[in-house]
Every structure is written in structure tokens, then in C-alpha cells.
Structure 1
Amino acid sequence: MRRFNTKINPTRQHKQIKKNINQTRHILKKGQFGLRSLEYIRVDSIQIDNLKRLIQKELKSLVKNTNLGKIKVWFYLLPNSPVTKLSPETRMGKGKGPIIGYCCYIRPGQLLFETANLPKIKTLELSSKIKNSLSFKVQSLFKFY
């Protein structure tokens, strides 16, 4: 029996998840405040929806219209990976199973969201409330002029 060579045929091996620091979405580009992850984690679409709802609720309760202009929010978490599951008593060889939901893989250094036109005191309140609700470590990013 001949073994296949992974150097010649790289498609036969499993795809490995890169666990290095994200270097493409790690700086603020549109807003003045953002949250950046410090851990590698998988986040479900339900958790993403809860985070969005929490941010919108806090922004609505903090300030409706500031003197800086209308508050803007940019989300960078998109649930793009499907999650499949088979029943636990299934024997091997029956296939992959149905899709039960979607998730998003977050690498260290990746931005979760950005906001613009918020006063500095309000952003500190917002960041503390969001940090307490998340299950992984995050870092606050500020860009005030």
C-alpha cells in the first residue's frame, strides 16, 4: 500500500486553522472607538446577535444625538462558517450531518466592532459594560483627536 505525499498533493490533508495574530483587521479605520479580541475563540450566531443587541441598547440609552453628530456603528463579526451535528448514537460512515447553525472564528487582534461620534466618557461606560458581558478577553482601542 502506497502512502500519499503531502508535499506533492496538499489537498489530501486537513486544513489547519491559523492561530497567529490577525494582521488585516486590527486597526481602527472608520471610527474612534473599537474592541479588539485577545484570544482565539469560536462565536455562535446567537452570541453575535446578543452582542449586537447589547451594543444597540446601550447606545440608545446612553445618547440619542450627541453634539458630535449621529452615532455610527460598524460590526465586523459575520457568522460565515456552518456548524453540523449528528446524533450521538450514530455509527460511522453516515455522512456529515445537517447544518444546525453558523459561527465565526475570531483570531487574536481582530476588531469586533467600531463606533464613531461618541463622547469619551460614554465610550468608557460602553466598553466596561460590553467587556463584562463577553466570555473572552478584549482590548479597547481609542482614536480621539
Structure 2
Amino acid sequence: MKKLFKKTHNKYKIKGKKTFNFVNSGSFGLKSISCGQLTKEKWESVRWALRKKFKAKLSTKQNKIWSLIQLNNSLTKLNLESRMGKGKGLVYTKSKFVREGTILFEFDSFPQQFRKEIVEFIQNRIPLKLQLVSF
């Protein structure tokens, strides 16, 4: 039986799902199970809402949240009425393409009962599927 390999411009083969669950800073984290793109505005709003919600709910400064995504793509856009050959356009936002298996957030000093609530809270705001990861 012959195996089929997908051709890519890279020299490495595309393999299956990434299963790395390394949590470095906190006691548990959130890992993406699907691929997708996050823009700067979406990412900042999720971070802000997360801090605001749990600051009001727990009212302690000992809870730590690390966001591990670095935005590395610049998205550009031209006017709708511009003709071809006028250049690339202005940068309107930054983004990051998130692959499956990427850890987005890490948390420390949060009670056990809030873990499921954190996943549901962020899942409703990000267009990715998330999974809870701990030691």
C-alpha cells in the first residue's frame, strides 16, 4: 500500500496534531486545539476582559495571568477604489496565526473551581477551540 504525502514548499513533512502540553510559568494553561488567526484588537479585548472579570470576582493581586502570544504578522489594506500596481497599502493591524497545540494563556494561584469558568469565558471570545492543560 502506497502512502500519500502532501507536497509543500518546505523540506519537512506535515505531520499530525501537535500534542505538546508544556506549562512553564503557571500551574495550568489554555491550549488551542484548532488553527486560526487572532488580530491585535481581539487579543487585547480578551486579555482586558479576563483581567477585569477575575479581579472583580477574586479581588486579590496574587492571581497571575501570562499571555503567551506574540503578534508577528502585519495586515495591510488598500482603498477599495485604488487601481492595481499602487503598492501594498498601509498596515491596519497586527495578527498571529495560531496552530493547534499552542498555549495561549497560563494561570497561577487560581482556585480549582474557576478553571472551567475560565475556559468557557475565553472560548466565547476567541474563534478557536480551547483545552485546559495542567502539570
TM-score, normalised on structure 1? Answer: 0.74
2:36 equivalent in structure 1: 41
How well do the aligned residues superpose, as a CA RMSD in angstroms? 2.6
1:97 equivalent in structure 2: 89
1:83 equivalent in structure 2: 75
1:122 equivalent in structure 2: 114
Q: Check if 1:27 corresponds to 2:17.
A: no
Contact 1:81-1:104 at 8 Å conserved across structures: yes
**1:20 CA drift (Å):** 6.1
**1:78 CA drift (Å):** 2.1
How far apart, CA to CA, are the structure 1 residues paired with 2:51 and 2:109?
A: 14
Query: Max radius of gyration: which structure?
Result: 1
Distance 1:26 1:93, change over 3 A: farther
Structure 2 segments unaligned to the other structure (5+ residues): 1-8
Structure 1 segments unaligned to the other structure (5+ residues): 1-13
**1:40 CA drift (Å):** 1.5
Identity rate, percent: 27
Deviations along 1:3-24, one digit per CA (max 9) or x if unpaired, are xxxxxxxxxxx89xx976786x
Contact 2:21-2:133 at 8 Å conserved across structures: no
Amino acid at match of 1:62: K
Amino acid at match of 1:125: E
Distance 1:19 1:82, change over 3 A: farther
Equivalent residue in structure 2 for 1:138, among 113, 130, 133: 130
1:62 equivalent in structure 2: 57
